Chain A
């Protein structure tokens, strides 16, 4: 509700003040550049998330008022967004001028040559180049949307870390601290290792039961029929045990099994699975039916003392009183790690968690490329970022971190923006696989069997590695 009201207020204020805001010489550019496109409507499809809603409710009307170009942004579910965008680009119908590109799908899109090279397009059309837009303004997250030559294919519009969220109030409660110390023999502080995390989780689950509270020690995104659980394991848990890129070695004939040089079914992967399942077992009862959304809801409802939570949810959990019961009570930290993982991440050989986010790209099939390029530059300017970062917590431009509004909001978020700024480099997006969804879908049914206990972690991961290799052979990536 706070986000919506902020958006509403921002929409009114910003739409009214648009001309004034850009009157410092730049308003003329937008008007002039948009002259040939009066009456044109550009259409985009994106996920119904706070950052996208901000584009629809605030930035699009603002741009329309400034340029006369109408922007129609369709916000829908995650599945529908991909379905609609991919079908449009495959058929080349040109319904959409902009599509949301999630970081993990960019490689598939590039492999299919769906997207327009924005750097090249602006270089070829200098009259469209906005004076306030510069690719150098983006954080390094933009690198995920570049090709090997450094050409940008999408304007970043959201970037989050999947962070370790914990309840500051519970961790600081003297009685709880004393009880934990009596039980564990150490101070109650955010965990840095898996053993510590498990100990804290068990303590709070027991504490909830003993005191008849609806409180558990950890969240778990462990849905038994939705890929969210698969993602939690491969993107957030396995890397903390040293299993990177889903355990597939792209440089070694895309091997997944240990027998062929992969790590999908190796001892670290098994240990990661066993640890995660043990956490799932002491998480709230809704865990086996939880996707990323429900995990956010669980934490926001005050039902978990700690957990791995997507940054897009961390924002409202920490700061939106109309949705969250734990506003002001949330702290952020790096996830617990196995030995050697931090060193690997520091040296660039590994990573400690998931850097999530997305960009807006322009399909080749767009029929209004010039007008779309203007809008994409508009949402990529430093000037529009601070209000956006406060209304829908996300940062894509380096300068945003230092804006006073964002600095103040960072305090409310328990230092979340500081974590992205200072430690973001330790996290990584999805591996550069054009076969992302294909391997995921081939292995997910086996993964669900592990969750249900029909297969042991070792047997299940063995089967998953075999299924991944079979699919990669079928697709022609593995020889």
Chain B
């Protein structure tokens, strides 16, 4: 008995205060993982109560033990002890929102059928009283035959009473009579319990009503939605930039300093360009991830996210997605990594997967340097409509192409690869609530640490492998070359250079030569890397964008004397970057979020095919007009 710690399962419907209670019991000592074989997140923590260390398992939110999603199926399997390495809990803590007790009692009835010792935690009792409701907790405990504790999690009310109870679930009161079975019997039981304990039903939340009159107003609500989303996007984009620049500069300085320590040679190059910039490639995402999740969880916990999803659901529904996907796709404009992570808020696994698979099509900020270089070099800087420049229009066109492609891809994926059982769209609009800061902080920390651990290792590894490919085998450049030209010579003869030459026949139909091929290989690390790689190949100084621009404008094929970068090639390359998933961080994140290698492989594959096809078409069409 003393050897294995007591295991307690935390069960409750969404918005019932389950996560707040979990945090109140365990502090920030949660371990986050996955259940074997599914993408459902597994959260466990330790609650220290006196001398007892209790394992608390935060089970996914569910309305019922008749599962309709993988998340909910996990709840039932855990309660039955059907998952390997996850023994059935010794006791269950069921959280129930006192304001929606009727619905929670259905879940309670189903849980009592399992025979596991259970105690009920009534949350939001302060809100119940504020809304004029009256509920007799002692009678509820009598009627159910199990302990009932009222807890207002963020104020700590009732926590001590609950903690006194938890260490010994075997001693909890059990129902004297067998719990109801079957739907009709349960329904009658719920009604009779409610009649005995709820002397006054709560009215509407006046505060929420008042806020909703604005937030859900046909005109005002749409305006609020637009403003919130623009601010949201702006904050992720603009606020994260200084921090990202700072990290970028810090990584650069660190790489420089490491050269001071290791001197010249491969070791120094490997540490500076392979390891440190690889770590940098991971850490650079942290500002966006922290900001995005802070905003996301505040909006979610306050209750606005459900309203936003409600307002925009119709639009997303037309391509087979749902309202909650909007936020994930919008976040992907800054970067697909936080965008894909934001898809966690989507309960339907299919909707979530479609959202993840199309998120890389949104124009992320890493594409901007590539677009800037090519548009700067090949689109004339003339004004077409008053002050509106052709270059700006070209950029806008690329953004729009990404959006349209994402929506079409979503519609197609929904009808083909991911066809099958849909779960109904339903969304609860919870009353507006102020989330405890601790809760937001722990959610944000959970998301950030998961990214660092899971995606970070893959990004670092890939970065080191790419460095090796771009560096080896070493060849001695002819002695008369300038340092820049010598670097270009070595790059051409590296493994990546060989790959560039090897794939030249494959990419020639797109108008690309081997140099662009090397750039494409290198851009697997991150899209903007193609710019620095091209700079290296053209032996241009990376800082001097003008000279790289001139270099690619002046480059000709040695055998024919034709220019390498025609307008058709430039357009084709731009279109390639709109579609292709040239980003290992995104792939690593998809791997982490879907808990499989299959889906990142699929995403990479389908986007590569799209990119190839669209580039081919662009090259032909633009070439025909030129």
Tell me, yes or no, whether A binds B.
Answer: no
- Which B residues are within 8 Å of any A CB, using their own CB? none
| Chain A residues within 8 Å of B, Cβ to Cβ | none
